[in-house]
Amino acid sequence: MAWWSRTQGIVEQPKKSVPKGIWTKCERCNATLYEADLDDNARVCTSCNHHFRMPTEGRIHLSIDQGTWQEHDRDLESADPLGFRVDGKKYVDQVRSTTKKVGGGDAYRAGSATVGGIPVEAGFFVFEFMGGSMGSVVGEKIARQFERAVALRRPAIMFCASGGARMQEGVLSLMQMAKTSAARSRLREAKVPYIAVLLHPTTGGVAASVAMLGDIIIAEPDALIGFAGPRVIEQTIRQQLPPGFQRSEFLLEHGMVDMVVARKDMKSTLERTLRWFERGRQPERRTGVVLDDAELPQTD
């Protein structure tokens, strides 16, 4: 309709709204970012280098060699031994609706792949699935991943992004901390390398167990890593925490992680680290000493 009508005068045009999902505001610098450009830049802000949370499918695509991903144990499903309900909703219904929205496989995806041509057993926490919480299925899939790594003599890589143990499974979820840690110890006994990559956030029971047990521990920039959250700690000890507490850079400074690596450099760093292991060097955990790219052999 024209903006002018001889019989009705000025005609108001309907207001056009910007479709959702086109633009995103950066959480750190408040820059307005075009979603397509953000995806092309691996979900990293082009203005301030802030790392947005990345979907698991994109993480797999970015971290391993294309066409080599073979997923295992995707048919495992969570049970409800406690008959848990929250706000009148059954846990089984919550799992079912989340599976329909996110996809199967629960909060962890494990599979065989190659990184830089080197065969590995890789695992990815799925934060989109109930906050990447670790229940019985997640613990079982991690244990199986480590068992495959031992049997096939392949390095294990784990990308961690989790809110911790899954409360809906009670003590059964807490048991996964011991289960995954025991499976990891078998890797050490077999002298099979294990690389842990800590993403934002890595907290709770996952941070207190398998996430911090890597031979090499790598973190993305500004990732929140710790057991209890900063607010809980401040309320408990009644003290103000130092700036940047529980962030990747703070942990690097205090010897809790070996490297802080930008997302777009993660795969090349993993390749160099894997080749370092291949050449027969064993990791040496040294408190307060940082292993950076200069210490790793360069790729050919």
pLDDT tens for 238-264 read 999 999 999 999 999 999 999 999 999
Range name among 44-58, 78-92, 176-190 with the lowest pLDDT average:
78-92
User: What share of the chain has pLDDT > 70, as a percent?
Assistant: 87
- Is the pLDDT assigned to residue 123 strictly greater than 60? yes
- Is the pLDDT assigned to residue 281 strictly greater than 80? no
Kind of pairing between the strands at 118-125 and 108-115: antiparallel
Please classify residue 130 by burial: count the beta carbons closer than 10 Å to its beta carbon, then call 0-12 exposed, 13-18 middle and 19+ buried: buried
Q: Could you tell me the domains of the chain?
A: 18-52 (no CATH), 55-295 (3.90.226.10)
Mean pLDDT confidence for 120-127: 98
Question: What residue type is 224 in one-letter code?
Answer: L
- Is the pLDDT assigned to residue 285 strictly greater than 60? no
Question: What residue type is 228 in one-letter code?
Answer: A
- Is the pLDDT assigned to residue 142 strictly greater than 70? yes
Phi, psi of 6 (to 5 degrees): -60, -30
Summarize pLDDT for 15-47 with one digit per residue, the tens: 555 466 789 999 899 999 999 999 999 999 999
At 159, the pLDDT band (50, 70, 90 cuts) reads very high
- Is the pLDDT assigned to residue 6 strictly greater than 70? no
pLDDT at 300: 42
For residue 232, CA distances in Å to 151, 240, 245 come to 42, 11, 13
At 291, the pLDDT band (50, 70, 90 cuts) reads very low
pTM (2 d.p.): 0.85
Mean pLDDT confidence for 152-159: 97
At 297, the pLDDT band (50, 70, 90 cuts) reads very low
Range name among 12-16, 103-107, 180-184 with the lowest pLDDT average:
12-16
pLDDT at 16: 53
pLDDT at 61: 96
Mean pLDDT confidence for 53-76: 96
Task: Output b/e per residue, 53-72; b: 16+ Cβ within 10 A.
Answer: ebebeebbeebbbeeebeeb
Summarize pLDDT for 182-232 with one digit per residue, the tens: 999 999 999 999 999 999 999 999 999 999 999 999 999 999 999 998 889
